[in-house]
């Protein structure tokens, strides 16, 4: 969604939801990340007002997740 060129994202983590406000110049640089990466890290200024949390994005980068170890083999003890 845009308003005067700004892009607004909804970010969710273990603490809840936050609105992410992305300025046009940053979105131009990070568009492919925002649209294609399943997980991103957003850095910026956190603002809280009247119970609403906003993050004014200054940097967006892919979130590198560690490779998962193979699942252990299930054992049937019954």
Report residue 29 as tokens: 């640089």
The number of distinct structural domains making up the chain is 1
Q: pLDDT at residue 61 above 80? A: yes
What is the distance between the alpha carbons of residues 35 and 56, in angstroms, rounded to a whole number?
Answer: 18
Assess contact for 41 and 61: CB atoms under 8 A.
yes
Residue 47 lies in a domain: yes
Residue 74 lies in a domain: no
What does pTM read for this prediction?
0.70
Which residue segment(s) compose the domain that 45 sits in?
Answer: 2-62
Residue 9 lies in a domain: yes
Residue 48 lies in a domain: yes
User: If pLDDT is split at 50, 70 and 90, which confidence band does 24 have?
Assistant: very high
Residue 75 lies in a domain: no
What pLDDT score was predicted for residue 31? 93
């Amino acid at each position: 969604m845009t308003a005067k060129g700004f892009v607004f994202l909804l970010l969710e983590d273990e603490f809840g939801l936050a609105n992410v406000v992305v300025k046009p110049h940053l979105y131009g640089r990070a568009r492919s990340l925002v649209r294609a990466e399943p997980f991103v890290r957003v850095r910026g200024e956190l603002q809280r007002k009247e119970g609403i949390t906003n993050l004014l994005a200054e940097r967006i980068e892919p979130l590198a997740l560690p490779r998962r170890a193979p699942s252990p083999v299930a054992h049937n003890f019954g």
